[in-house]
């Protein structure tokens, strides 16, 4: 087996490990509300979420994957070492924030890692003045704008849906409403899990396609089209890994998302998940790589704010926002360091 093929295998396996950790880290996004409202037990909730994360492979296309694979970093600056360093930086940041119990974005960790590794390569090979030349501005504009828009969109949709449903159901008995929404929340949790799988798994698809391109197994035409013969293996592999990670779950973050930000009942859980699902479906089909974590957090805050602003624990929300702001530069820094270490041992990286 030649060195290039071995490196490709290691890179693809690392990408699948990242996808697994993405599901593990972001399992809370799919199940926190349905667990905190006690509609499903934790074990049933993760199985429910894992199934719909996998089904997303067949329903929501690959527009986000193409944005990640060829729309953020110049293709000629993507090597297998860059991809491997990007994945390493994202994995380290995911593990740290999982340990701290912070619902940060695995997606933004990945794109931050990709940028950091590519910029480090350009700096080491051509000088610091060339670092930003690897960035494709048009690919980053919508992504950076949606760091703000995605949670606000989730918040506004959840707020509006909650107010409308409160008005429609104002004469119904609370127990009856609770009974209805315990059933409806199964549908909203399934929809959100579809959005999660459709958005987050696609980012790893783009990374794997980039590794195949760098190794010479795919052409620029394949990257621009549907990845040739690797189309379905990439899609199935990424979604299976994220589904498995979701099934095994990340309970530290479930506690933060499901109870620390605001208290939820089945009615509120339904509104938050539905608002999050609508946001994720819209952005996935438009090819915009947004954070599922940011989206559901904004939706939960929107539900809590309907009652009164004090129902939202703003201290917890503030910690989460700071973690969001730091994710891209922190992952970029770690990936840049990893690439530098690789470069020390292999100057052609």
The C-alpha atoms of residue 90 and residue 331 are separated, in whole angstroms, by 6
User: What angle, 0 to 180 degrees and rounded to 10, lies between the N-to-C axes of helices 137-168 and 292-307?
Assistant: 30
Contact assessment for residue 246 and residue 49, using Cβ atoms and an 8 Å cutoff: yes
| CA distances from residue 6 to 11, 12, 78, 205 in whole angstroms, order as listed | 9, 10, 17, 19
Neighbours of 333 (CB within 10 A): 17
| CA distances from residue 248 to 21, 26, 49, 251, 273 in whole angstroms, order as listed | 10, 11, 11, 9, 21
Chain center to CA of 272: 17
The confidence score (pLDDT) of residue 119 equals 94
The C-alpha atoms of residue 97 and residue 93 are separated, in whole angstroms, by 6
The confidence score (pLDDT) of residue 123 equals 92
The C-alpha atoms of residue 86 and residue 70 are separated, in whole angstroms, by 15
**How buried is residue 164: exposed, middle or buried, by Cβ count under 10 Å (0-12/13-18/19+)?**
exposed
The confidence score (pLDDT) of residue 162 equals 92
The C-alpha atoms of residue 218 and residue 227 are separated, in whole angstroms, by 7
The confidence score (pLDDT) of residue 196 equals 82
The confidence score (pLDDT) of residue 259 equals 47
The confidence score (pLDDT) of residue 314 equals 55
List the pLDDT tens digit at each of the 349 positions of the chain: 567 788 889 989 998 988 888 777 666 556 666 777 777 777 777 788 888 888 887 887 778 877 777 778 887 788 889 999 999 988 888 788 777 766 667 778 888 999 999 999 999 988 888 888 888 888 788 788 888 888 889 999 999 999 999 899 988 888 888 889 888 988 998 898 888 888 878 878 888 888 888 888 888 777 777 777 788 888 899 888 888 887 776 555 555 544 444 466 788 888 988 999 999 999 888 888 887 877 887 888 888 777 665 555 555 566 666 767 788 898 999 999 999 998 888 765 6
Contact assessment for residue 88 and residue 334, using Cβ atoms and an 8 Å cutoff: yes
Contact assessment for residue 49 and residue 75, using Cβ atoms and an 8 Å cutoff: no
């Amino acid at each position: 087996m030649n060195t290039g093929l071995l490196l490709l295998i290691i890179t693809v396996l690392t990408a699948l490990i990242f996808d697994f950790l993405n599901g593990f880290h972001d399992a809370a996004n799919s199940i926190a509300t349905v667990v905190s409202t006690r509609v499903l037990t934790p074990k049933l909730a993760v199985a429910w979420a894992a199934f719909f994360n996998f089904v997303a492979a067949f329903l929501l296309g690959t527009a986000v994957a193409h944005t990640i694979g060829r729309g953020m970093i110049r293709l000629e600056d993507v090597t297998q070492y860059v991809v491997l360093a990007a994945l390493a930086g994202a994995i380290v940041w995911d593990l740290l924030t999982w340990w701290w119990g912070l619902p940060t974005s695995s997606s933004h960790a990945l794109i931050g890692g990709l940028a950091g590794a590519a910029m480090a390569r350009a700096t080491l090979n051509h000088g610091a003045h060339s670092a930003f030349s690897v960035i494709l501005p048009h690919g980053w504009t919508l992504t950076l704008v949606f760091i703000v828009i995605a949670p606000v969109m989730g918040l506004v949709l959840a707020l509006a849906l909650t107010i409308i449903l409160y008005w429609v159901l104002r004469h119904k008995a609370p127990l009856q409403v609770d009974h209805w929404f315990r059933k409806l929340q199964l549908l909203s949790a399934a929809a959100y899990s579809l959005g999660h799988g459709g958005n987050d798994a696609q980012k790893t698809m783009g990374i794997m396609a980039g590794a195949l391109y760098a190794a010479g197994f795919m052409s620029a035409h394949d990257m621009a089209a549907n990845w040739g013969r690797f189309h379905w293996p990439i899609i199935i592999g990424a979604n299976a890994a994220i589904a498995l990670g979701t099934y095994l779950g990340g309970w530290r973050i479930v506690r933060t998302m499901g109870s620390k930000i605001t208290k939820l009942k089945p009615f509120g859980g339904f509104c938050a998940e539905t608002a999050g699902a609508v946001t994720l479906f819209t952005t996935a089909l438009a090819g915009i790589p947004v954070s599922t974590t940011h989206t559901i957090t904004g939706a939960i805050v929107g539900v809590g704010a309907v009652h009164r602003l004090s129902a939202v624990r703003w201290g917890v929300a503030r910690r989460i926002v700071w973690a969001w702001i730091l994710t891209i530069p922190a992952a970029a820094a770690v990936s840049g360091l990893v690439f530098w270490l690789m470069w020390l041992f292999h100057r052609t990286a």
